[in-house]
Amino acid sequence: MTFEQLMREPKHLLLKSISGNRAYNLAPASSGSDIRGIFVLPQRELYGLSYTDQVANESNDETFFELGKFMGLLCRNDPDMLELIGVPENCILVRHQLMQLIRPEDFLSRWCLDTFVGYAKEQLKKAKGDGKNYRAENMMHSIRLLNMAEEIARYKRVVVYREDREFLLRIRGGEFGYEELMDMVEGKMLKVEEAYRKSDLPDAPEIGPAEELLVRIREEFYQRSIVHAVSIHPYDPGWPKRAGEIAVQLKQVLGENLIRVEHIGSTSVPGLSAKPVIDLIPIVRDLEELDQQQHLIKALGYEWRGAFGISGRRFCPLTSPSGERVVHLHFFQEGAVNILRHLAFRDYLRAHPQIAREYEAEKRRAARLHPADSLAYNDEKAAWVQKYEKAAVEWYEKNADIKNKSIAL
């Protein structure tokens, strides 16, 4: 993998974001943007003899870390990696769904005292001077790092976007003398050390769960990379009947754990052309019990793909002998927030035929652009779906009669 290849094939990206002073809220108006990110090696390269742990452009202002290296550094509480996954939303350029599984707070430990203070000391060395003759940019970042270290100990949060911007910019502007700033640093060091003495942060990150998370993300990422051709078919009145048959089959094998099954997606909207894939939400009483029942789902011919990038879901696709997707099961536990948005979108389209026709046109447009790539097809129409999903949920919540008339299979 090279930087150029990654730019040509962004499907390998997990995260791409603006970093540095722009993410800190400390950038001068004329400042450029540093870019940092995370990628996953193609499966064949990962299993091969050469491992690419990071790539960068020639000027090194765009750097991307392979997932394995990123996770290793994260487990050492590396400040750069913790900042990378803590940047504000307006700095995120690309974020894969699987990134929601990586939370900074799950990795914070007392090691942050050494790592953040260590980085701060490196900045102090570069800033060294006297009077007003010192490197103010480095001094500013030294104070920023110490403040972040204290916040981690006290609040267990990595605060990248700096609300202390005005004070930090005064440092960079040279308003303070070197000796005055060194007195501030000494006092801040004592406060940071005291904060860690009182903190209940773990001594170190837990390697076992981190390793399990790394494997899970790789597995789900590679599974998601399997694409299928896209074909939009005229509405088939047999789709609801097929959905009902599948619901009966699931009830027979899952018993009391299955509460009901909802037919969702385009095949659930009368008159709407769609990919001939039946999407269902089987709603269960207990997701952990379902995990113990997965062998029953597999026995019906479905693949078990776990959450597959959506927390609280269990995704199980069914593929025909000819290799075509025919059914998607999206299991959720009763009360899961994702259930509502799917039901709202379905009922909104059923109640608004004109918008359903607009959706069909959008799907056909996306299919023309990406006839051989189902994931790219979904990405292409995602903006349209997100816009109307929001409207659908608002409409659904205001129409209790519609909400309460949802008929399960």
For the domain that residue 399 is a member of, what is the CATH number? 3.30.460.10
Copy the structure tokens of residue 231. Answer: 């074909």
pLDDT at 97: 77
- Phi and psi at 56, nearest 5°, equal -155, 160
Do both 251 and 272 map to the same domain? yes
Do both 271 and 386 map to the same domain? yes
User: Is the pLDDT reported for residue 15 higher than 90?
Assistant: yes
User: Is the pLDDT reported for residue 99 higher than 80?
Assistant: yes
36 falls within a domain: yes
118 falls within a domain: yes
Distance CA 379, CA 385 (A): 10
Do both 80 and 174 map to the same domain? no
Do both 115 and 26 map to the same domain? no
Copy the structure tokens of residue 149. Answer: 């270290």
Helix, strand, coil percentages in the chain from 3-state DSSP, rounded to 5: 55, 15, 30
Mean pLDDT of 191-212: 96
Do both 170 and 299 map to the same domain? no
User: Is the pLDDT reported for residue 105 higher than 90?
Assistant: yes
**Overall size of the chain counted in residues:** 409
Do both 186 and 64 map to the same domain? no
Supply the pTM of this predicted model: 0.61
Do both 145 and 190 map to the same domain? yes
Do both 308 and 387 map to the same domain? yes
Do both 171 and 122 map to the same domain? yes
Q: Final residue of a domain: which of 77, 98, 119? A: 98
Q: What does the DSSP assignment read for 369-387?
A: H-TT-HHHHHHHHHHHHHH
Q: Final residue of a domain: which of 149, 181, 198? A: 198
Q: How many domains does the chain have?
A: 3
Quick one: pLDDT band at residue 44, thresholds 50, 70, 90? confident
pLDDT at 365: 94
386 falls within a domain: yes
Q: Final residue of a domain: which of 198, 213, 230? A: 198
Distance CA 258, CA 331 (A): 10
105 falls within a domain: no
228 falls within a domain: no
Mean pLDDT of 367-395: 90
The answer to whether 124 and 172 have CB atoms below 8 angstroms apart is no
The SS3 of residue 92 is strand
Do both 315 and 267 map to the same domain? yes
User: Is the pLDDT reported for residue 250 higher than 90?
Assistant: yes
214 falls within a domain: no
Do both 189 and 56 map to the same domain? no
29 falls within a domain: yes
The SS3 of residue 407 is coil
pLDDT at 407: 55
51 falls within a domain: yes
Do both 20 and 158 map to the same domain? no
Quick one: pLDDT band at residue 32, thresholds 50, 70, 90? confident
Domain span including residue 311: 238-404
pLDDT at 400: 67
pLDDT at 85: 94
pLDDT at 18: 95
Q: What does the DSSP assignment read for 40-87?
A: ---HHHHHSS----EEE-TTSSEEEEEHHHHHHHHTTT-HHHHHHTT-
